[in-house]
Structure 1
């Protein structure tokens, strides 16, 4: 991993050969290396996510005449205060998109002129941040923490990295594409989760079609159904009932069904902006339960108590270890 990446912005990352290779053809080793680097430099997460989305949209073509980027940046800076069509969700969330949206727009414009790519409409959230987004067709999106969303001018072709809930206006085909699978609908409500190696879709209204690279035929979901990408690359369908059928994170509740504590810790990190340290033996324990996003102390208590664990908080660092049995 290059130390100089600490000083790179999203434009520089998106033009770096090693970074492009990782985004386009990431190996498990490269994924682990970048995740480790982001854990050490959490302040660069938004830059990396922005660069990832832009690289995914690049069509590499012959070089075009050089552009006076200094002059271009000056023009962009003068016009960066245009309002974004987003709003924060929940009292404890931080509204950070104003400047982030301006920077993302600037990056997209430079890439459009320099590389000849289509300008994406880009929205991203940081840790502790939820956003409500209104798309051009008036479809509504709730974007969870540490997630990135881009869309075309119609607002009906979406790329997602992270988690979002969609309430889609009726109309032409509406497509949500992730690195792990694709969801296509006409008008409906559904939730998409796409992080690390996990891809999960839950339908709450209407019908959705879900496909994956290893499952081209895909599956059809109706309300009360979900599907998840299995280890073999096929989509596994579930019939849900009661609380299972709800989209809990919209109510600031985060539910887990026999998932490793590692995944639970990652969600706590996203929702509270902390870094959790725990031994691998603890992180691999499977967990059934939930935590609420209104209090870090309460969330840690809800997660650690069933496993006889204890936590300590020092600033933004949380340490979790086995509880003293004496």
Structure 2
């Protein structure tokens, strides 16, 4: 109730300095401000006051109708309430929705058409609910696994490329200069730069630094869904970046060999074993210098 009262007074420019400061500190203030800015330039047609006065005087005089002050206040309050409802509606349907998975965590959520998304650690998705069934489009930063409900075209946009489907299951990963797409069911169309590829069940494609990489994936679903981290021809920097995301730690690497490629799996819930595999593969020694920091040195 207090929030609605502050909103109404703010729309009427009737907040005290203290109330204004409190309202501007609220998490929804930025959304309210954007909507207010969109409507502030709306204007009604201008009118000629002299013409209006002449028309009134030319009409037959009638008994004056007095509207009590309290009724004016009610009308004003009702208008503010309707505007507040409009703002709430706009926020719910027009403002972008954001889903995130912090480092060391995964997030599962459903889209308006009941398509299911599993978001991997250190990833983010943005989409709009409005007219979703006709415009199924979202922006992905990081990695996500999709189980798409059948319907109209479904698009996943990343900074490296775009994936288009109708109804299927697939995984998209866009990390730095690496773009991976795996189709687990149905068909997906992948657009990367000027390249367009159609993938069917069991097929995959990867691009890194503008070049296509030929890899083969033999899994029923992404390894990270089952708490394993899968790598296909990736260098040690990419591997350590993913370990940092999965375990929410910092890793410092002191080695000259950063080009050797690794294909294999690491556990996502057993840090010691993951560190041992990396150390053995690259002939490194891992040192834990604090609770959340690991240093790899050459042996």
Deviation at 1:307, TM superposition (A): 2.1
CA offsets 1:112-159 (integer angstroms, 9 cap, x no match):
555899521111121101000111110000000110101121172110
CA-based RMSD of the aligned residues comes to 2.9
1:263 pairs with one of 235, 238, 245: 238
SS in 1 for 2:256: helix
When the two structures are superposed, what TM-score results if normalisation uses the length of structure 2?
A: 0.67
Work out the CA distance in 2 between the residues paired with 1:109 and 1:280: 51
Select 1:209's aligned residue among 186, 189, 193: 189
> Does the 8 Å contact 1:225/1:237 carry over to 2?
no
Cα gap change, 1:236/1:262 in structure 2, threshold over 3 Å: closer, same or farther?
closer
Matched residue, 1:151: 127
The count of residues paired between Structure 1 and Structure 2 equals: 225
Q: CA deviation at 1:310?
A: 1.3
Q: Which residue of 2 aligns with 1:294?
A: 269
Pick aligned residue for 1:219 from 170, 194, 197: 197
Checking the alignment, whether the CA contact within 8 Å between 1:290 and 1:302 is kept in structure 2 is no
Say whether the 8 Å CA contact 2:287–2:296 is kept in structure 1: yes
Distance 1:310 1:141, change over 3 A: same
1:270 & 1:145 partners in 2: Cα distance?
6
Alignment of 1:191 with 2:149, yes or no, is no
Larger CA deviation: 130-139 vs 307-316: 307-316
Q: Tell me what 2:206 maps to.
A: 228
Change (3 A) 1:110 1:130: farther
For residue 74 of structure 1, the aligned residue among 17, 20, 23 is 23
Does structure 1 conserve the Cα–Cα contact (< 8 Å) formed by 2:253 and 2:296? yes
Q: Pairwise mapping of residues 158-197 of structure 1 onto structure 2 (< 5 A)?
A: 158-197=138-177
2:177/2:208 contact within 8 Å kept? no
> Of the two, which has the highest radius of gyration?
2
In 2: Cα distance, 1:222 partner to 1:213 partner: 20
Structure 1 position 123 matched with structure 2 position 128: no
Cα 1:275/1:229, change in 2 over 3 Å:
same
Q: Residues 276-322 of structure 1: CA distance to partner in whole angstroms, max 9, x if unpaired?
A: 00125144443232210112111111221122211111211101112
Q: Is the 8 A contact 2:255 2:297 kept in 1?
A: no
> Could you tell me which residue of structure 2 aligns to residue 279 of structure 1?
254
Distance 1:212 1:73, change over 3 A: farther
Which stretches in structure 2 are left out of the alignment for 5+ residues?
1-14, 40-90
How many angstroms apart in 2 are the aligned matches of 1:255 and 1:124? 21
1:257 Cα shift? 2.6
* Shift in CA distance, 286/237, structure 1 to aligned 2, threshold 3 Å: closer
Unaligned runs of 5+ in 1: 1-67, 78-102
Paired with 1:317 and 1:254, the residues of 2 have a C-alpha distance of 20
Cα drift, residue 111 of structure 1: 4.9
Where 1:300 maps in the other structure, the secondary structure is helix
Partner of 2:11: none
Which piece of structure 1 moves more, 134-143 or 299-308?
299-308
Indicate if the aligned counterparts of 2:180 and 2:207 stay in contact, CA closer than 8 A. Answer: yes
CA–CA separation in structure 1 for the residues paired with 2:142 and 2:217: 25
Checking the alignment, whether the CA contact within 8 Å between 2:23 and 2:29 is kept in structure 1 is no
* Distance change >3 Å, CA 178–CA 171, structure 1 → 2: same
1:59 matched residue in structure 2: none
